[in-house]
């Protein structure tokens, strides 16, 4: 058994001493041992640090002699090392630094990539009060010369290989230029001796340099895999590993970087002008300056585009959320002039301004600015645009802007609303049709309430916000053809009166259907009840009368109306210019009840519970013609029934049958005849046919 080195023996003693000192509450270094590979290290001295001094000693253990540390004289600096002490709350932060810097290593090394360490020393930091040593810190210094830090990087442009024939990054784990990366066995800057130190712990996979793994179809891959099928040797690919299918899967971009400015604004300088020949649906509206007339709109990613062109005959209603600190008001639309050549001039928007009454409805997370003496600023919270159109031109533009006055340094989140509607020039009011004559998908369902003077209305659903409470929920109209489920939450206490709860739930649900009739068509006249108006079929809610005996307990209510189902029957009613027209055949509303019970945690506290109530809309399409009933032969003989057999003989020539709707029938017939022509030519030019012709000749 050999003797241990003095440094190793001292390390064991210091570790044992540090643990015992922490247990006893004496002065100690944390950690008591540090392996140093950089220019500076730090440790914490904990305990009673009042009046403590720190000294530094370089241990010379090459000859096997370990000097006894002296703590009588303060020595916090040597020729190559310095010690700094930063006081804290019952803790001293001790930092040891190499004074010469890492440039000293490169100046002393003739080989920039030397494998031996540049600095190999053992340091002992001691803490004392008066003269006796109270704690020790052992530092093992082992610093290598790193060319990536001591040499200037080359300014030559990196040569990028052809990505089709050679991988762009053959060694992804080579992260440090001019130095050996540990565990990166493909790093060419690592010598064989250094690689032997971590050969058993090399990075694997693509990161470790395996950028061209053998693919499954390679014949050599089958020799190492035992699960290949029997036919693999006949169909495998003979190819060298350098020719891999993983090459070429890179974007062929520019090799040299492009110098661009830090801030650029994209401007569409090639705006196509459609106003000279009249607008078509979807064309952007142009101004007299040959620029797009823009209004903020929602993109497909859910973000607001501030300079989105307005499309002709496209209505939208969007909300944009903006931080007031970065908000900038758009240029005014007063001076905007819309190009309208067909009417012999331009159209100037007519703007009406209104003041916002409830600022909390538009601005949330408001912070009161400290400087209230600054001048206020005006922000637009809502903008409503009404375009009057005539054929393919715009005849008039009316704009209603709701604005608010806020402090110039106001902070918060502002929600802006932008509404665009296109109305016919001869419409006397802003009444919007939902179709002409049939309903269009996505248009509101038209409704009437004959029990009040202002009878024009529609059917609604909830649009919850915040905590989802019914008291703060807003309404949104039911759109034709869209099945929707919405809901909100009612706050209910443990001592809630069940009768009052039922009445409150019925009132909330009834507020969604404040109508007695719905329009059969999208252009039914509001003033003529006989013009295709259907009465809503209502299934009454449970009687919110006296409670059943079982509900006399607090926190339990039976038969609470909590669900409203709206079922709308629709059907195809012909076509206009090839466009199918849909109409409503009937509307039914039905209530469903639930048994509510107050949910207690560990204890039943006197706080409100939440009762969810919901409303659903379902559009049920009724076929215009009832399907033909099956004959007795079709019922009993199922060989030609495609729904009950894997083989469907009626669809053998599927592209030429009525089931194929991918392209027009005329194109299918033309392509089929062309294919038949090719088959006929192939048959006539085939070898058996030429033999028959030669035999007859």
Quick one: pLDDT at residue 536? 92
Quick one: pLDDT at residue 589? 93
Tell me which residue has tokens 């080989």.
111
453 with 473: CB under 8 angstroms? no
> pLDDT tier at 102 (50, 70, 90 boundaries)?
low
292 with 285: CB under 8 angstroms? yes
628 with 552: CB under 8 angstroms? no
Quick one: pLDDT at residue 543? 61
* Count, residues in the chain: 697
What are 463's two structure tokens?
């649009």
pLDDT of residue 100 exceeding 50: yes
Say if residue 655 is preceded by a cis peptide, omega within 30 of 0: no
| Average pLDDT value for residue range 323-347 | 73
Tell me which residue has tokens 């199918």.
580
Tell me which residue has tokens 């040499």.
151
Quick one: pLDDT at residue 154? 47
Closest among 7, 38, 30 to 122, alpha carbons compared: 7
521 with 447: CB under 8 angstroms? no
| Average pLDDT value for residue range 471-487 | 89
> pLDDT tier at 525 (50, 70, 90 boundaries)?
confident
What are 34's two structure tokens?
């540090």
Judged by average pLDDT, the poorest of 198-212, 507-521, 631-645 is 631-645
pLDDT tens-digit profile of 352-364? 888 887 777 778 7
Quick one: pLDDT at residue 342? 57
Quick one: pLDDT at residue 150? 41
Phi/psi at 286 (5° precision) = -105, 155
Q: What is the 3 state secondary structure string of 477-517?
A: ECECCCCEEEEEEEEECCCCCHHHHHHHHHHHHHCCCCCCE
pLDDT of residue 189 exceeding 50: yes
| Average pLDDT value for residue range 277-300 | 84
> pLDDT tier at 563 (50, 70, 90 boundaries)?
very high
What gap in Å lies between CA 599 and CA 593, rounded to an integer?
Answer: 18
Q: What is the 3 state secondary structure string of 343-374?
A: HCEEECCEEEEEECCCHHHCEEEEECCCCCCC
Q: Higher confidence at residue 166 or residue 621?
A: 621
Judged by average pLDDT, the poorest of 23-27, 435-439, 534-538, 643-647 is 23-27
Q: Higher confidence at residue 435 or residue 382?
A: 382
413 with 323: CB under 8 angstroms? yes
For the chain, give the mean pLDDT: 76
| Average pLDDT value for residue range 317-328 | 84
433 with 576: CB under 8 angstroms? no
Phi/psi at 13 (5° precision) = -65, -40
What are 282's two structure tokens?
């979807």
Q: How far is CA 193 from the centre of its chain?
A: 49
- What b/e sequence results for 252-269 when a residue is b if at least 16 CB atoms lie within 10 Å of its CB, and e otherwise? eeeeeeeeeeeeeeeeee
What are 296's two structure tokens?
């903020």
Cα dihedral 270, 272, 276, 280, rounded to 10, equals: -170
Is this prediction's pTM over 0.85? Answer: no
Say if residue 31 is preceded by a cis peptide, omega within 30 of 0: yes
């Amino acid at each position: 058994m050999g003797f241990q080195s003095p440094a190793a023996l001292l390390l064991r003693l210091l570790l044992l001493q540090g643990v015992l000192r922490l247990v006893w509450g004496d002065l100690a270094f944390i950690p008591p041992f540090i392996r140093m590979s950089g220019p500076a290290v730090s440790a914490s001295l904990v305990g009673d640090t009042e009046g403590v001094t720190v000294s530094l000693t370089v241990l010379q253990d090459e000859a096997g002699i370990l000097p006894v540390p002296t703590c009588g004289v303060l020595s916090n600096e040597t020729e190559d090392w310095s010690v700094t002490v930063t006081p804290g709350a019952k803790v001293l932060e001790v930092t040891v630094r190499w004074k010469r810097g890492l440039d000293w290593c490169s100046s002393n090394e003739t080989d920039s990539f030397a494998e031996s360490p540049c600095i190999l020393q053992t340091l002992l930091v001691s803490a004392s009060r008066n003269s006796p040593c109270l704690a020790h810190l052992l530092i093992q210094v082992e610093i290598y010369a790193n060319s990536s830090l001591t040499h200037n990087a080359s300014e030559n442009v990196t040569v990028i290989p052809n990505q089709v024939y050679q991988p762009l990054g053959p060694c992804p784990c080579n992260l440090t230029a001019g130095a050996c990366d540990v565990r990166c066995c493909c790093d060419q800057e690592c010598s064989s001796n250094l690689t032997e130190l971590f050969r058993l712990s090399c990075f694997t996979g693509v990161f470790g340099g395996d950028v061209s793994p053998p693919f499954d179809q390679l014949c050599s891959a089958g020799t190492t895999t035992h699960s290949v099928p029997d036919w693999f040797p006949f169909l495998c690919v003979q190819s060298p590993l350098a020719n891999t299918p993983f090459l070429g899967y890179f974007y062929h971009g520019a090799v040299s970087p492009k110098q661009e400015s830090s801030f650029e604004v994209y401007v569409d300088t090639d705006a196509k002008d459609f106003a000279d020949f009249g607008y078509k649906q979807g064309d952007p509206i142009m101004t007299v300056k040959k620029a797009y007339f823009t209004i903020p709109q929602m993109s497909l990613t859910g973000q607001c585009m501030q300079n989105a062109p307005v499309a002709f005959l496209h209505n939208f209603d969007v909300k944009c959320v903006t931080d007031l600190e970065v908000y900038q008001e758009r240029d005014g639309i007063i001076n905007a002039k819309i190009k309208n050549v067909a009417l012999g001039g331009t159209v100037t928007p007519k703007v009406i301004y209104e003041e916002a009454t409830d600022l909390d409805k538009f601005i949330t997370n408001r912070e009161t600015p400290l400087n209230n003496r600054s001048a206020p600023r005006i922000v637009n919270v809502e903008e409503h645009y009404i375009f009057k159109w005539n054929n393919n031109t715009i005849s008039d533009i009316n704009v209603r802007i709701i604005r608010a006055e806020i402090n110039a340094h106001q902070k918060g989140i502002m929600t802006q609303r932008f509404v665009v509607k296109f109305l016919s020039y001869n419409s006397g009011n802003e009444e919007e049709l939902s179709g002409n004559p049939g309903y269009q998908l996505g248009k509101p369902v038209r409704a009437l309430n004959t029990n009040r003077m202002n009878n024009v209305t529609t059917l609604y659903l909830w649009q919850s916000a915040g905590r989802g409470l019914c008291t703060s929920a807003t309404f949104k109209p039911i759109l034709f053809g869209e099945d929707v489920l919405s809901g909100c939450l009612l706050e209910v206490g443990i001592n809630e009166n069940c009768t009052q709860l039922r009445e409150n739930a019925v009132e909330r649900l009834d507020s969604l259907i404040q109508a007695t009739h719905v329009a059969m068509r999208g252009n039914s006249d509001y003033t003529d009840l006989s013009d295709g108006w259907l009465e809503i079929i209502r299934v009454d809610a449970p009687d919110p009368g006296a409670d059943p005996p079982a509900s006399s307990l607090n926190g339990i209510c039976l038969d609470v109306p909590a669900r409203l189902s709206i079922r709308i029957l629709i059907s195809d009613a012909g076509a206009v210019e090839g466009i199918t027209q849909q109409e409503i055949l009937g509307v039914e509303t039905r209530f469903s009840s639930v048994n509510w019970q107050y949910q207690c945690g560990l204890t039943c506290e006197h706080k409100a519970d939440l009762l969810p109530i919901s409303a659903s809309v379902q559009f049920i399409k009724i076929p215009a013609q009832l399907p033909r009933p099956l004959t007795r032969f079709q019922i009993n003989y199922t060989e030609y029934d495609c729904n009950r057999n894997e083989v469907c003989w009626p669809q053998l020539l599927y592209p030429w049958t009525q089931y194929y709707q991918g392209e027009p029938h005329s194109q299918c017939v033309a392509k089929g005849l062309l294919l038949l022509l090719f088959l006929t030519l192939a048959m006539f030019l085939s070898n058996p046919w030429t033999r028959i012709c030669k035999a007859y000749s």
